[in-house]
Amino acid sequence: MRSADLLHLAAESLLRARLRSLMMLVAMAIGVAAVVVLTSLGEGARRYVTGEFQALGTDLLIVLPGRSETTGVQPGLFAGETPRDLTLGDAQALLRLPGVERISPIVIGSVPVSAAQLSREVPVLGTNADFLVVRNLSMGQGRFLPPGELDRDMAVCVIGSKVRSELFPDRPAVGGSVRIGGRRFRVIGVLSDEGRAVGFDLQELVIIPVRSAQQLFNTESLFRILVQARDRDATPRVRQEVLRLLTERHQGEEDVTVITQDAVLATFDRIFTALTLTLAGIASISLAVAGILIMNVMLVAVSQRTAEIGLLKAVGARRRQITALFLTEAVLLSVAGALAGLVVGYAVNWVIGRVYPALPVGAPAWAVALAMLIAVASGVVFGLMPARRAARLDPVVALAGRR
Amino acid sequence: MIELEGIHRRFQVGDQLVRALDDVNLRLDAGEYVSIMGPSGSGKSTLLNVIGLLDRPSEGRYRLDGHETTELDDDALAGLRARSIGFIFQSFHLVPRLTAFENVELPMVLAELAPAARRTRVTEALAALSLTDRAHHRPDQLSGGQRQRVAIARAMVMRPTVVLADEPTGNLDHTSGAEVLAALEALNAGGITLIVVTHDDEVSARSRRQIRMRDGRVVHDAPTPAASPAPAPGPTP
């Protein structure tokens, strides 16, 4: 049969069985839309997280105390050793390494912060002036911590915009003062609204000089040290240097972990890719279900149309032609359903994009291709059995079907 | 030309062997007009199905226009059927969702004729059966007589050598039935062999050769008596 005729005949019978066709179309569309939307969400989450990390700069190294790369019990524990803390001295030594552009020591804790009658428990972060550059932050009002020696204690602070609106609802914050853990600090700046960070909201943060934070929390150690290399290509070398220097300073014990931003990025990338694949797998199940529905409905169509099949045979249809006719119907349906599903999927994506502008939703091309492929393949696979059954009907019996 | 030699058709129904055709020998020349009569279950429909290549004999030889058909496979039979045989059924068997035009076109679509040639032939066939103004109606918008005429148009577009009609007037009133018979007879006048299975003596009387069957056997085969249709012809001697 000419393919135009085949399409025409198949389309006619689909259009006449409108409700049945519509049901199959909807089933297939839901499957494809599910694949598109779910993979878009997974992919969106991946892009969101990697975007966040890239915003931090890929030339960044993070130094944390303790060895986290070794699995199992650390040998030091048996020898009665504990990992040494990172200190301000370590931080100052790192700054002198070649290839290191800036460093930012970090101490973090949570204490009550109050201004006038208003009090709130917020995270307090102790760091230095370079933190602003290292973390790509920008100021809304006033200025950031002043540059200077790391071990200088100053009673000044920079607050996040959310903290500002909560503690200074009706008066200017810059120039005012807050009490942090019983000590009075002068507010010298407010962070701008656009700060982004993984893990916690910078706008809920109070930033004070690192030495002041150590005194506040009564500690000599650092939570971690951020090291910014001069350029991205230098990071692996700088990482080695940092490890060597700290091992040397810690009496030959390699008791710190240095993570490069790239490594973190790659890890998250892997996790979220796995997530997306899992979601795609789950959504594909609904495609398979839609395929089985197509088979079911096509079987009904074959038994409803036995007389017609008998007639087709009487006027000279070959087995192959009847198979082709029913198969075309199944494939047409699944393709139409898949296209409808794409439209629905992209529409849902658009809505999600409107509701959560921060999430970069977008269906990955491979997922769209896969969904279409599975949809069409299930049309063929699940349409084949009913079509062959139709083709094998005995014309005499089939013609008698409606008499 | 149709030649049947020693045709048997047996069905197994439960544990009973039904002899639908029992040693049928027939020879029909091109252009004949034959009626087949007989009580229900006498095998006349089976005979028609065998002649129409829809059913295979269990035993015997069948030559259609010189082609030996008993050795052919399904697809070859379908091809021969498409070229040589036109069917008319009591219940019309039109495809309900296709228009009259499309129903008539169907055999040519299956035979992969070019669309332009198809259009010409359908238009001619519909005109010959005075259905031109019904071309784009669906079967449920047509009367019984019109439906059967659409079926006749469909049977003739492939220019077959044989037209097989199974109770063509069974579902029609007298006037429509007469129109349908006239249309079939016009085909026969054009040289097509016409075989009509019927219960109706009046229909049978219009044919030129009458065959009667009983229990799968041909019990009477003779030219139709020239007399005008008798009220009730007695049992054939």
pLDDT higher than threshold 50 for residue B22 = yes
Q: State which H helix or E strand residue B176 sits in.
A: helix B174-189
pLDDT digits (tens, 9 = 90+) for A284-309: 888 888 888 888 888 888 888 888 89
Query: Measured between CA atoms, how close is B96 to chain A, in angstroms?
Result: 9
Q: How far is A403 from chain B (nearest CA, A)?
A: 7
Cross-strand partners of A118: A115
| Chain B partners within 8 Å of A319 (Cβ) | 74-75, 78
d(CA A135, CA B156): 85
What is chain B's percent helix, strand, coil content, to nearest 5? 35, 25, 35
- The beta strand positions in chain B, using DSSP E, are 2-13, 16-28, 33-37, 59-64, 67-68, 85-88, 162-166, 193-197, 209-214, 217-223
Taking the CA of residue B78 and the nearest CA in chain A, the distance in Å comes to: 5
- Contact (CB<8Å) A312/B110: yes
Q: What is the DSSP letter of A153?
A: -
Q: For the residues A186-206, what does the mean pLDDT come to?
A: 75
pLDDT category at A151 given cuts 50, 70, 90 is: confident
Interface test with A, best of B97, B140, B163 (most A CBs within 10 A): B97
Report B:137-176 residues touching A (Cβ under 8 A). 154, 158
CB contact under 8 A, B158 and A320: no
Q: Do B52 and A312 touch (CB under 8 A)?
A: no
Q: Is the pLDDT of residue B232 over 80?
A: no
Interchain proximity A312–B106, CB inside 8 Å: yes
User: Which of A315, A388, A392, A402 should one mutate to test binding to chain B, selecting the residue with the greatest count of B CBs within 10 A?
Assistant: A315
Length of chain A: 403
pLDDT tens for each residue of A373-384: 888 888 888 888
When pLDDT is cut at 50, 70 and 90, the band that residue A403 belongs to is very low
Q: For the whole model, what pTM was predicted?
A: 0.69
**Which among A217, A213, A212, A206 is positioned nearest to A120, based on CA atoms?**
A206
What does pLDDT average to over chain A? 85
Residue A211 burial (10 A CB sphere; 0-12, 13-18, 19+):
buried
pLDDT at A162: 86
ipTM (interface predicted TM): 0.88
pLDDT tens per residue, range B62-92: 999 988 998 899 889 999 999 999 999 999 9
Strand pairing category for B193-197 and B33-37: parallel
CA distance A12 to B101: 14
Q: Which residues pair with A209 in a beta bridge?
A: A127
Q: Does A310 touch chain B (CB under 8 A)?
A: yes
Residue B174 has pLDDT above 70, yes or no: yes
| pLDDT for res A18 | 85
Residue B8 predicted with pLDDT over 90: yes
- The CATH superfamily assigned to B2-223 is P-loop containing nucleotide triphosphate hydrolases (3.40.50.300)
- When pLDDT is cut at 50, 70 and 90, the band that residue A194 belongs to is low
What are the residues facing A191 on neighbouring strands?
Answer: A139
Distances (CA, A) of B20 to A104, B5, B43: 100, 15, 5
- What average pLDDT does the segment A147-160 reach? 89
Pull the structure tokens for residue B67. 């082609």
- Both tokens assigned to B211: 């065959």
DSSP structure class, residue A146:
P
Domain map of chain B by residue range?
2-223
What DSSP designation does B92 have?
-
- Residues in chain A with CB shorter than 8 Å from the CB of B97 are 12-13, 15-16
User: Is the confidence at residue A71, as pLDDT, over 50?
Assistant: no
Q: In this complex, which of B74, B81, B98 lies closest to A319 when CB atoms are compared?
A: B74
Which site among B47, B54, B105 would you substitute to test the A interface, given the most A Cβ atoms closer than 10 Å to its Cβ?
B54
